[in-house]
Amino acid sequence: KAGVTQTPRYLIKTRGQQVTLSCSPISGHRSVSWYQQTPGQGLQFLFEYFSETQRNKGNFPGRFSGRQFSNSRSEMNVSTLELGDSALYLCASSFGTDSYEQYFGPGTRLTVT
């Protein structure tokens, strides 16, 4: 069974630009969660999608948004990039209930200059 895939793996953007990251979950998983990982703040929850609906959202500004498609693939978008958005962005897929473990992709390393 293929694992969670994320594209691209690395990105370099300039302040003010926008970026779109993609995540393909494990086959059969309908939930996709996104996390931001930085040395200072650690792993922080961004949002979760299930069956194309956002069910939960973390404490991030509106510049961070996402969506999920009918095949459960998900994208997250960050507009008007700031230097502080430089981070490893991880997506995780699961069956969609609290009891199930999440399986993570390799992450997208975003650098904002």
Residue with Cβ nearer other proteins (48 or 85): 48
Contact 46, 68 (CB under 8 A): no
Instruction: Kindly state whether residue 55 participates in binding other proteins, applying the rule CB under 8 A.
Output: yes
Please report, as a single letter, which amino acid is at residue 42. Answer: G
Smallest gap from Cβ 101 to other proteins, in A, equals 5
Q: Could you tell me which stretch among 17-25, 44-52, 64-72, 79-87 binds other proteins (CB under 8 A)?
A: 44-52
Between CA 32 and CA 2, with CA 6 as vertex, the angle to 5 degrees is 80
Instruction: Kindly state whether residue 98 participates in binding other proteins, applying the rule CB under 8 A.
Output: yes
For residues 85 and 67, give the distance between their C-alpha atoms in angstroms, rounded to a whole number.
19
Instruction: Kindly state whether residue 66 participates in binding other proteins, applying the rule CB under 8 A.
Output: no
Q: Does a cis peptide bond (omega within 30 degrees of 0) precede residue 8?
A: yes
HSE (CB half, 13 Å, CA atoms) of 4? 27
- By CB under 8 A, name the binding residues for other proteins: 31-33, 35, 42-43, 45, 47-50, 55-56, 58, 88, 90, 92, 94, 96, 98-99, 101-107, 109
